[in-house]
């Protein structure tokens, strides 16, 4: 996808190009997400979404720790450490991962089943693991750029919370407690990452790498919804071994 003779962009042009990728490829444009927000899914389908998205949430601290281990200065590490604190909390039951389990619990999924990952779609595992690998293997600049989907997340979170509360009687504000802190955490995090990328992507090659990193990250989130849509929306085709709605694991 990388142009053969990319030109040097100004920082503002680079930011515009990043935002254009989000406008085209962020997963708020995916049909499964539209269906989720518009109340077109049943409880079993929302369960499948929350169950699979749990693995993404649970691996985000590993993703961030992988990058933390590679960052060269205490200043950068302090900044990035905050993300792990946000997700893992300061005590049992706190933090983003624990709040996601309140969502799966509120949807009627047993916590032990969710955290066992037994019912995960294989495609979810492959996509999320690919994200952690990317952050381990690529340049620090690309790893930081891959987090820039958070530029677009406040919009999707607002849509999601209001849409789900309006349309689903099995969803409550307590169930959606995960999302409220994200409305302030995500902009803080993406402000930092965007400033870093604007400052450090100063050659045509590194700018193209940064754009490609954001496309890659969008493809992670998009492919997770492809797999959910294929497996759980009519005609549902659940792959062998994955979560089957209505089983013992779901109340």
Residues interacting with its own copies, by CB under 8 A?
A: 1, 24-25, 31, 118, 121-123, 125-127, 129-130, 133, 215-216, 218-220, 222-223, 226-227, 229-231, 237, 239-241
Cβ distance 149 to 214 under 8 Å? yes
Q: What tokens were used for 235?
A: 């005609």
Least distance between its own copies and beta carbon 211 (Å): 12
Least distance between its own copies and beta carbon 164 (Å): 23
Cα separations (Å) of 218 from 6, 72, 98, 107, 145? 21, 27, 25, 27, 11
- Helix, strand, coil abundance in the chain, percent, nearest 5: 70, 0, 30
CA–CA separation, 83 vs 85, rounded Å?
Answer: 5
Residue nearer to its own copies on the CB measure, 70 or 125: 125
CA-nearest of 162, 182, 165 to 95 is 182
Residue nearer to its own copies on the CB measure, 71 or 236: 236
Least distance between its own copies and beta carbon 152 (Å): 14
Least distance between its own copies and beta carbon 240 (Å): 4
CA-nearest of 40, 10, 70 to 201 is 10
Least distance between its own copies and beta carbon 98 (Å): 25
CA-nearest of 182, 191, 194 to 145 is 194
Q: What is the CA radius of gyration of the chain?
A: 18
Least distance between its own copies and beta carbon 191 (Å): 26
Residue nearer to its own copies on the CB measure, 121 or 171: 121
Residue nearer to its own copies on the CB measure, 189 or 229: 229
Residue nearer to its own copies on the CB measure, 38 or 191: 38
Residue nearer to its own copies on the CB measure, 116 or 184: 116
């Amino acid at each position: 996808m990388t142009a053969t003779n990319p030109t040097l962009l100004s920082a503002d042009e680079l930011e515009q190009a990043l935002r254009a990728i989000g406008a085209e490829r962020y997963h708020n444009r995916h049909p499964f997400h539209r269906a989720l927000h518009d109340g077109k899914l049943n409880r079993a389908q929302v369960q499948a979404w929350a169950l699979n998205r749990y693995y993404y949430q649970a691996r985000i601290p590993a993703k961030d720790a992988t990058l933390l281990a590679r960052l060269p200065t205490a200043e950068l590490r302090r900044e990035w450490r905050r993300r792990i604190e946000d997700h893992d909390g300061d005590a049992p039951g706190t933090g983003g991962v624990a709040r996601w389990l309140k969502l799966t619990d509120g949807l009627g999924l047993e916590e032990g089943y969710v955290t066992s990952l037994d019912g995960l779609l294989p495609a979810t595992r492959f996509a999320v693991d690919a994200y952690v690998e990317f952050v381990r293997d690529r340049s620090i600049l690309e790893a930081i750029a891959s987090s820039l989907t958070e530029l677009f997340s406040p919009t999707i979170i607002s849509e999601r919370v209001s849409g789900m509360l309006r349309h689903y009687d099995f969803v409550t504000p307590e169930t959606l407690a995960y999302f409220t802190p994200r409305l302030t955490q995500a902009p803080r995090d993406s402000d930092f990452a965007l400033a870093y990328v604007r400052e450090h992507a100063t050659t045509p090659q590194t700018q193209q790498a940064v754009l490609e990193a954001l496309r890659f990250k969008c493809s992670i989130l998009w492919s997770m919804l492809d797999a959910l849509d294929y497996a759980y929306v009519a005609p549902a085709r659940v792959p062998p071994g994955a979560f089957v709605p209505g089983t013992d694991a779901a109340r």
